[in-house]
Amino acid sequence: MIYLELLFGFLKVGFFAFGGAYGAIPLIRDVVLSYGWIGDEMLTYMIAVSESTPGPIMVNLATYVGSSQAGLPGALIATAAVVLPSFIIILVIMVLLKRILKNPWVQAVLRGLKPCIIGIILATGVYMILNHCFLNLNDFSVDITATLMTAGLSLVYFGSRKVLKNGISPIALIGLSAVAGIAVYGL
Amino acid sequence: MGILLDLFLTFAKVGLFTFGGGYAMIALIENACVERKAWITHDEMMDVTVIAESTPGPIAINCATYVGYKQKGFAGALVATLGMVLPSFLVIFLISMFLDNFLDIRWVAHAFQGIRIAVGILILDAAIRMIRKMHKRLVPRIIMVCSAVAMFLIDIFALRFSSIALMLVAAAVSLCIFMIKGNPAREGKAK
């Protein structure tokens, strides 16, 4: 039955998808294709849509696949299934949190994980920006429009902190960048 | 305004404006939950990020559940998570029902070309904030720089070495140091 398949398929995705959506795409691909819900080409398109719409990529994809297979109930079941494992895991950790975090061994692990994750986030940010500014990272051909937009948006975002108390919010930056994208590339 | 409604609306707003995966969302959640609402501290935000990265599932869901539970127990966790999911659920559901060629719409494509630039800036912003508030000791700094360089090389050369493997190495290194030298925080206090 399609509802049960969606439930178990996306529970599996939610439970085994470590490291954010990009790390999880091979797993998602594996699950979705093994059930034969949709073809490879359609899945690639759905991943692209999930990346260009708001919200967590994994949740978007679950909603999309569920809806395409079984309408609104399918979308609800797939979305709930992909969210449920992390929801429960965090609740369990929260209830046990104080004891767990005080354990010296856990603290030793966290001391290593924190700077590592900061490093990963830093590298991801730098890589994304360079990836947009250079058309091809191997021969250093610069995408002038994207570079100017990056410089302009950075200036507005970081510069606004000197003028306003908290600067403009990340949400305002997203809105501004969408308008800038339409204006620069569309007109 | 009731705290439950506040949680729901705040996370719905984050959910509606989060593009490009979990890291960009850290900047949005930090802005909403640490700076504006003061629901959690910066240190807690760092803890959530670490927990979210080390547990399965979307980082956004982990964060929403954590903040919601801290404010109002199970009901808070449920409401915050629902708020996080609802906007994207509606957007995707409408697209799947009515738009077969969503990515072919020209202004959507153009808007997204702009948004992906903002996403890069937001991720960099999240990293800079975390580095500023990091412990100013040698070992964490070395781990940070090493994993940044390693991750960058993995990205550029599209190596088959995931960020999870990188995190396991960092955790192992930190455990070894702990076994050899003991707890640095306690030593620091003893001096």
pLDDT tens digits for range A45-79: 888 888 888 888 888 999 999 999 999 999 999 99
Percent of chain A with pLDDT over 90: 23
Q: Which residues of chain A are within 8 Å of residue B120 when distances are taken between CB atoms?
A: 125, 128-129, 131-132, 150
CB contact under 8 A, B27 and A94: no
Distance from the Cα of A40 to chain B's closest Cα (Å) equals: 16
Residues in contact with A82: Cβ distance below 8 Å, sequence separation at least 6, in sequence order: A10, A11, A13, A14, A58, A59, A62, B57, B58
pLDDT-based confidence at A137, cuts 50/70/90? low
Q: Which of A112, A137, A79, A122 is nearest to B61 (CA)?
A: A79
Interface A-B, measured as beta-carbon pairs within 8 A, has a size of 366
Distance from the Cα of A100 to chain B's closest Cα (Å) equals: 12
ipTM beyond 0.90? no
- pLDDT mean over A160-174: 83
Percent of chain A with pLDDT over 70: 95
Around Cβ B86, how many Cβ atoms within 10 Å? 17
Q: Best mutation site among A38, A72, A86, A129 for testing chain B: the one with the most B CBs within 10 Å? A: A86
| pTM (2 d.p.) | 0.83
- What does the pLDDT read at residue B187? 45
Name the stretches of chain B with pLDDT < 50: 186-191
Q: Which of B55, B120, B128 sits opposite A86 (nearest CB)?
A: B55
- Most confident segment among A22-26, A105-109, A161-165, B68-72: B68-72
pLDDT-based confidence at A152, cuts 50/70/90? very high
CB contact under 8 A, A113 and B77: no
CB contact under 8 A, B81 and A146: no
Contact B119, A22 (CB under 8 A): no
pLDDT in tens, A120-131: 889 988 988 888
